[in-house]
Chains A and B, each alone.
Chain A
Amino acid sequence: MASATEHADLLIERMGNNPLQILIAIQKAFNHVPGDAICRVASALDLPLSRILGDVEFYSFLSREPLGIYSVLMSDSITDWMLGSRELFLRLCGNLGVSPGITRSDGLATVARTSCTGMCDQGPALLVNGMAVANLTDERIDAISRLMEKKIPLVAWPDEYFHVESNIRRRGWLFQDWEGAILEGEALLQEMTDAGLRGRGGAGFPTAKKWASSRDASGSERYVVCNADEGEPGTFKDRVLLQHCAGGLFEGMTLCARIVKAKKGFLYVRGEYRYLEAHLENLLAARRDADFEIELHWGAGAYICGEESALLESIEGKRGIPRVRPPFPVTRGLHGMPTVVDNVETFCAAAAIAAGGGREFRSLGTAGSHGTKLLSVSGDCSRPGIYEYPFGVAVDRILEDCGAGNALAVQVGGAAGTCLDASEFGRKVCFEDLPTSGSVMVFDRTRNMREAALNFSRFFARESCGFCTPCRVGTEILAQTMERISEGHGTREDISEIGNLGGILKASHCGLGQSATRAVRDMLKKFPEHFEGAVK
């Protein structure tokens, strides 16, 4: 096998100035990124060492220390917890005789935890060497342990282990067979405006306005970027769209590129969805468009990169630190050039509107939220999966459809979202009431919301980029406070301190910190009995 530096040279020759993608490939080949390789990549790309070292220490799928031949990351989403992931994690560690996060002395395996892997409808799930294995049971964990002990390569593991279900439970407007754009350019922008298309990532910016602003901004290059870095716990609808509607997605990106006059586009996919690589590469290879090239860019375990300016930093090969905004990406985005960044669902909807769906889109939804929304439903229900509804659907309707008869609470919008109690199940999913990128997690009456509060607190501490004081330190203090409460060592002051932290974190640099205490404070307010018994 070539040395790490020789391998780095080959990758640099093949992949060019693309440090993060080169580091991901080195990690894959050597189970870590050796110091020599860090130096070689830095010198070959004429970048400071700290830039490359910074990447390795920032992205959680990269490692400076050698990991095992099998690197296992157990999904730590609250829905995975509810399905028994913590017990399975201990079982796996016990089977292999490893401590969490510490590579076995013979180098066979490393077992650690990671944030939500986007398999909440078929959890518990884990990643082994980057590949998703869902529907974990005691039997499956034992079987996997045996395969690892026998050093059976992943390609020889049973196919069914790597099977990922789509679980599309309710199809609507978007899931029709939209083919062939009949509108483009100005006519498409007008149709998107008339239809009322707003961004599907959660913020709801009018899409046509974004595209037109980018077109009208000055710059020698322009870019179109699709954000498929869905890391919000409990969301997995982009995974299903990438599986079933990638053609529409590429069509939407291409239509956008023609309007803004972009020659280059990027599809930024979270590293957890690596199993989709061959599928996406094949579709991209089959595309015939000499004027607009789309490149796949893989994430490497960083929730913050779902924030659009952090995502652009990541494509530029840097740590995913959100930029100061304004300027917004439409005027100064990738490499300082006008850039459209939109969600997978938004590009798919734009392509469907171009194919003649504008009038129908307009007729669906509410006065301020037109069209449909894909919801990723998970947790305590009998039919978890993807549900497409017109905007304005009430939470109790969703609960009825997914088979959640005994719901205590519903978390809408993931860890950064809102926790609803039963008195609020009449609220509606739309920009005017409950804006969301689509995560809906159900908790039934057997649950204690303290667990969810602990889970979300740890999530934000793990995913804070560390740039600004309130988020870097505040999320850590929040997580430690929730851990104390969960272990029975909490006090009433700890509870009131969580409220204070909420005010402090509002001064954070970006939305991650600003929303980090939201759900926990909702839970404290709406389910005080779940916390009070645990504190002194």
Chain B
Amino acid sequence: MKAISLDGTMTPFAEGQTVMDCALAANIPIPHLCYLPGFVPHGSCRLCTVKVDGRFASACTQAATEGQHVEIDTEELRQLRLSLLRMLFVEGNHYCPSCEKSGNCRLQKAAYDEGMLDLHYRPLYPKREMDASHPDVLIDRDRCIFCGLCVKASRDIDRKNIFGISGRGIDTRLVVNSKSGLLADTDISAQDRAVEVCPVGAILVKGRGFEIPIGMRLYD
């Protein structure tokens, strides 16, 4: 059986598997945000960056090959993940205490897991548009991390193709496939996979106000 070394643990893999697949199967944690099993890996958040034979690679896109030495839990990589999380926080407007997703947010959880205690960088305070046009679903772009999961879920699972990523560089933005650019002019529903799959509080179902008590939320 072919195997790779994950922080010294020899882990078997099958042809076509990625480093992330191997690690998940072996219960070896690699922090990640834009990756979700069942979706084609994107490799954009870079939180799953590991060192493969001494070189940086995103675990979700890196194919496993015989004899690879993968470093995951090293000081260098912990610092890198911390920096990437801080970057994700400062580029948007994230106010966890008032966010509906708090306690169920993968970005927030990753930040707790990595021991992030401050922003370190100066916040960029971008001005981003909110879309509250739809009766059931809301887009709060302040919290979007451009993981692309909603784009894929809406296109490939819901078969509605409602979302897209537009812009460039720091002006990258989540857009809606309707002439007005508004969610109200799409056939999105609160039950769509695209809504559920958002790792942060960027796409939310309306009419719910902090329903789950603190202490019982997903990541409490």
A57-B178 CB under 8 A given contacts A504-B83, A507-B84, A509-B46: no
B168–A477 contact, CB under 8 A?
Answer: no
Complex: chain A residue closest to B145, CB-CB: A469
Q: Which residues of A contact B165 (CB under 8 A)?
A: 50, 54, 319
State whether A509 touches B44 (Cβ < 8 A).
yes
- List the B side residues contacting A39 at CB < 8 Å: 179
- Comparing A4-12, A242-250, A417-425, A457-465, the segment that makes contact with chain B is A457-465
CB distance from B117 to the nearest CB of A (A): 17
Interface centre among A461, A475, A504, A509 (most CB of B within 10 A): A504
- Contact indicator A507/B166 (Cβ below 8 Å): no
CA distance A319 to B91 in the complex (A): 21
Could you tell me the distance between the alpha carbons of A506 and B51 in the complex, rounded to whole angstroms? 11
B171 at interface by CB-CB < 8 Å: yes
A477 touches B43 (CB 8 A): no
Task: Tell me how far the C-beta of B18 lies from the nearest C-beta in chain A, rounded to whole angstroms.
Answer: 11
User: Is A203 at the interface (CB under 8 A from chain B)?
Assistant: no
Q: Interface readout for B162-195 with A: 1 if CB under 8 Å, 0 if not?
A: 0111111111110111110000000000000000
The interface bits of chain A over 57-74 (1 if a CB of B lies within 8 angstroms of the residue's CB, else 0) are: 110100000000000000
The 10 lowest CB-CB distance pairs between A and B, nearest first, are A50-B164, A466-B172, A473-B87, A54-B166, A464-B169, A476-B170, A507-B49, A466-B169, A57-B167, A57-B166
A57 surroundings in chain B (CB, below 8 A):
166-168, 171, 173
Which of chain A's residues have a CB closer than 8 A to the CB of B124? 473, 476
| Other-chain contact of A48, B84, B121, B164 (Cβ < 8 Å) | B164
CA distance A324 to B61 in the complex (A): 7
Decide: B56 and A507 in contact? CB cutoff 8 A. Answer: yes
Distance between Cα atoms of A53 and B177 in the complex (Å): 9
Interface SS majority for chain A: helix
Residue from A58, A475, A504, A506 within 8 A of B166 (CB atoms): A58
In angstroms, Cα B145 to Cα A49, docked, is 21
Q: Which residues of A contact B168 (CB under 8 A)?
A: 57-58, 60, 302, 319, 464-466
A-B contact count (CB 8 A): 119
The 8 Å CB contact of A469, one of B44, B76, B161, B169, is B44
A509 with B43, Cβ < 8 A, contacts A469-B87, A469-B88, A476-B124 known: yes
Taking beta carbons and an 8 Å cutoff, which residues of A are in contact with B?
35, 39, 48-51, 53-54, 57-58, 60, 302, 319, 324, 326, 461-470, 472-477, 480, 500, 503-504, 506-509
Inter-subunit contact A466/B46 (CB<8 Å): no
Instruction: Say whether B3 faces chain A, with CB atoms less than 8 Å apart.
Output: no
Distance between Cα atoms of A508 and B43 in the complex (Å): 10
Chain B positions within 8 Å of A507 at CB level = 46, 49, 56, 58, 80, 84
User: What are 30 contact pairs spanning A and B, CB under 8 A?
Assistant: A35-B179, A49-B178, A49-B179, A50-B176, A57-B171, A57-B173, A58-B166, A58-B168, A319-B168, A461-B169, A461-B170, A462-B169, A463-B169, A464-B170, A465-B169, A466-B167, A466-B171, A466-B172, A467-B146, A468-B44, A468-B45, A469-B47, A469-B84, A469-B88, A470-B46, A472-B91, A477-B90, A506-B56, A509-B43, A509-B58
Q: Could you say which of B80, B171, B175 contacts A50, with CB atoms under 8 Å apart? A: B175
Provide the residues of chain A in CB contact with B56, threshold 8 Å.
506-507
Assembled-state Cα–Cα distance A480/B169 (Å): 14
Cα distance A302–B168 in the bound complex, in angstroms: 10
Extra contacts, 15 of them, besides A462-B169, A469-B88, A504-B83 (Cβ < 8 A), are A48-B161, A51-B164, A57-B167, A302-B168, A461-B169, A464-B169, A468-B43, A469-B45, A469-B84, A473-B88, A474-B87, A475-B169, A476-B124, A477-B87, A507-B84
